[in-house]
Amino acid sequence: MTTQDGAAQSYRAVVRTLAGAQKPALPGSPPYSVYVNRRAGRLIAAWAYRAGLSPNAVTGISAVLTFSGILVIALVPTAPWVGLVVWLLLALGYAFDSADGQVARLAGGGSPAGEWLDHVVDSAKISALHLAVAVAMFRFFGFSSAAWLLIPVLYVVVANVTFFGMILNDLLRAARGGSSDRTPGSRSALKTLLLVPTDYGVLCLVFLLLGWPALFTIVYGLFFVANLGALGIALPRWFRQMRELGRKSDVR
């Protein structure tokens, strides 16, 4: 479809088109991303497409919203209303992040430049969010020990290794002709529950607790431990998959 086609269609018609073209949920997809954010992104994508916005423009809006929320974390003293503002900005930024790919599909497919931009924004977001938490803890939380700052600093490492590992897995498989292990399939209730702490959308909800620094730190710290555990389980599995991929490539 072209932009003119999108403008001529009703909003509901575009939403239905997106719903019909939606990719099946992957087994490793966190629940908020699948059941909440993807649907919110669909509504935004329909609006953006009818308004004639490009996928890159939607990515830009996502970045502005997300980094505005991150700046609020680092610069504004903690209070209940601050947590609400941060959550709203981060959640909207995440929804627009889902929408850019859906707009690209409506427009006939994405581009390497668009995919590159999306990943660069995501990588910057992952680092900046946890570093902003470290700044907020140092400036506003009033902790007697600087050791608490290790939580967001280590969270940066875990989040970046996880993100880079998933991207690198897909790139190496594509380069060597392998298939992704993230294929549509059944999702057990237990696995879905275990994935909750790794879901960026659920992490955004944690910032609603910013007005209560001690409670926020406890919940945020538990999320860090859960993500560290998930990465500890994933890394050996990814390494085995890459080793097997190398063996298959050598046989060819």
| Average of per-residue pLDDT across 81-95 | 97
* pLDDT score at 13: 83
How many domains is the chain partitioned into structurally? 1
**Distance set, CA 28 to CA 31, 62, 104, 191 (Å):** 9, 23, 23, 8
Write the pLDDT tens digit of every residue in 146-192.
Answer: 999 999 999 999 999 999 999 999 899 888 876 655 555 555 666 66
Q: DSSP character for 2? A: -
At residue 1 the predicted structure's pLDDT band, cuts being 50, 70 and 90, is very low
* pLDDT score at 180: 58
* pLDDT score at 132: 98
* pLDDT score at 17: 74
pLDDT at 30 exceeding the cut of 90: no
| Average of per-residue pLDDT across 8-37 | 74
* pLDDT score at 203: 96
Write the pLDDT tens digit of every residue in 191-229.
Answer: 667 778 899 999 999 999 999 999 999 999 999 999 999
| pLDDT: which is higher, 16 or 183 | 16
Residue 58 class from Cβ within 10 Å (0-12 exposed, 13-18 middle, 19+ buried)?
Answer: buried
- How many beta carbons lie within 10 A of that of residue 199, not counting itself? 20
CATH of the domain at 237: 1.20.120.1760
pLDDT at 2 exceeding the cut of 50: no
Q: Which domain holds residue 62?
A: 3-251
**Predicted model pTM:** 0.87
| pLDDT: which is higher, 235 or 173 | 235
pLDDT at 5 exceeding the cut of 90: no
Angle, helices 11-20/80-106, rounded to nearest 10 degrees = 80
* pLDDT score at 76: 97
**Backbone CA torsion sign across 235, 236, 241, 243:** positive
* pLDDT score at 127: 95
* pLDDT score at 21: 62
Write the pLDDT tens digit of every residue in 92-141.
Answer: 999 999 998 888 888 777 788 988 999 999 999 999 999 999 999 999 99
Q: DSSP character for 139? A: I
Whether 62 and 169 have beta carbons less than 8 Å apart is answered as no
Angle, helices 55-75/38-50, rounded to nearest 10 degrees = 120
Residue 43 class from Cβ within 10 Å (0-12 exposed, 13-18 middle, 19+ buried)?
Answer: middle
Give the ranges where the chain is alpha helix by DSSP (H). Answer: 3-8, 11-20, 31-32, 38-50, 55-75, 80-106, 112-136, 150-175, 189-195, 200-206, 213-251
Residues 91, 100: Cα–Cα separation, whole Å: 15
Write the pLDDT tens digit of every residue in 46-62.
Answer: 999 888 899 999 999 99
